[in-house]
Amino acid sequence: MAQRLAILGSTGSIGTQSLKVAEQFRDKFDVCALGAGGNISLLEEQVRIFKPEVVAVHDQEQAAKLKVNIIGLNTKVLAGEEGMAELAAWPAVDVVIVAVVGFSAVVPTLAAIKAGKKVALANKEALVAAGELIMEEASRHNTVILPIDSEHAAIFQCLHAGSAAELKQIILTSSGGPFLGKNREELSAVTAEQALKHPNWRMGPRITIDSATLMNKGFEVIEACRLFSLETTQVLVVIHPESIVHSMVEFIDGSIVAQMGLPDMTLPIQYALSYPQRWPNSFHHFDWRRNHTLHFMPVKTGEYPCLDLAFQALKTGGTMPAVLNGADEVAVRCFKEGRISFLQIPDLLAAVMDRHEVKRSPSLEDIVEADRWARTATELLISR
């Protein structure tokens, strides 16, 4: 019997690749529900191809337009944050792929968990901002969370080589982004257009800019600690410009197990959906008939201040990771708009973190308020 999928963020990079996987395995998956932010032209196209039972559009006005456009297709249209949460808990759905960008993934992720759905998680901000809460709810509802993020999918696979007691550390790899090797003077003049040209990956704008500052890797550190119950001392970040080794696990005997593959998200998406099985596919595979050279370099303390801030937020805990995420989302947007420079991003984030009064063991309401406060505080600092 085919698994019934809900894809939240179906019009984004991960969402469209998830549909590509679903199309390749039409006998195994039935696309039952689709959710998007506001790109209704692409969403409408997806509805006509996959004929889902229900769709949700975060933007209320765009939802109303879509409803008119697809009259006669027998697809229900939901709207707003409530609609996305309802979609995540849709009764007919077996697996929810969470591929929406940003903090908006927190509520629908929790809704899917509480409804007992299997969750394939591509959004990192949910675990950054509300990781403790989400993992507690997953344990309470006996919900499986499978990582789609390539690094965490790699760690998940490598951990099968040993027991939790045998784990020494995980090694997260980073390409170093488009500005690898540039000094501070060179970075002072970089533009958003340059930051959006990642050397290896095709991703959305925020995650691409976060990859340039290594904030994305910092968020992955927080995500890994939440997903795999790790201490900060068990996570090492190394620069790997080729993006072929997606991450590694080192065991107490010195053995290192790595997961390798092309810099393409279709494989981690497929593995999250097929787990615990592996299926043959027609996607591009790594070609061992060609010459390949792989490089690994240490990350020096202070070289990437955004990465240092992520470790700091993780150690502080409570609402601090949510504040870092909210502030970063605003700072990245303002950099794209030309309102701040590339080097001002970490300075802003540090300033906002310094002003925040941390709440320990936060509720969802506390996390939502911390996110709102961080965004407002960042905008105020920029306007001054």
Contact 322, 128 (CB under 8 A): yes
Sheet holding 245-251, edge to edge: 256-260, 245-251, 167-174, 235-239, 297-298
Strand ranges across the sheet with 54-57: 76-79, 54-57, 29-36, 3-8, 95-98, 118-121, 145-147
> Scanning the structure block, which residue is given the tokens 């993020």?
149
Residue 162, token pair as written in the block? 């040993």
- Residue 220 backbone dihedrals phi, psi, to 5 degrees: -70, -30
Q: Specify the pLDDT at position 8.
A: 98
Domains and CATH numbers, the chain: 3-147 (3.40.50.720), 149-265+284-302 (no CATH), 317-384 (1.10.1740.10)
Closest CA to 274 of 110, 118, 114, 112: 118
3-state SS assignment for residue 94 = coil
Predicted local distance difference test score (pLDDT) of residue 190: 86
Q: What pLDDT shows up at residue 201? A: 65
pLDDT at 269: 97
Cβ within 8 Å of residue 333, ≥6 positions away: 206
- How far apart CA 222 and CA 361 sit, in angstroms, is 16
Q: Which of 223, 226, 268 is nearest to 243 (CA)?
A: 268
Per-residue pLDDT of the chain (384 residues; tens, 9 = 90+): 899 999 999 999 999 999 999 999 999 999 999 999 989 999 999 999 999 999 999 999 999 999 999 998 999 999 999 999 999 999 999 999 999 988 999 999 999 999 999 999 999 999 999 999 999 999 999 999 999 999 999 999 999 999 999 999 999 999 988 888 888 888 888 888 888 887 776 777 888 899 899 999 999 999 999 999 999 999 999 999 999 999 999 999 999 999 999 999 999 999 999 999 999 999 999 999 998 999 999 998 788 999 999 999 999 999 999 999 999 999 999 999 999 999 999 999 999 999 999 999 999 999 999 999 999 999 999 998
DSSP class of 111: H
What's the angle, vertex CA 370, arms to CA 134 and CA 210, rounded to 5? 75
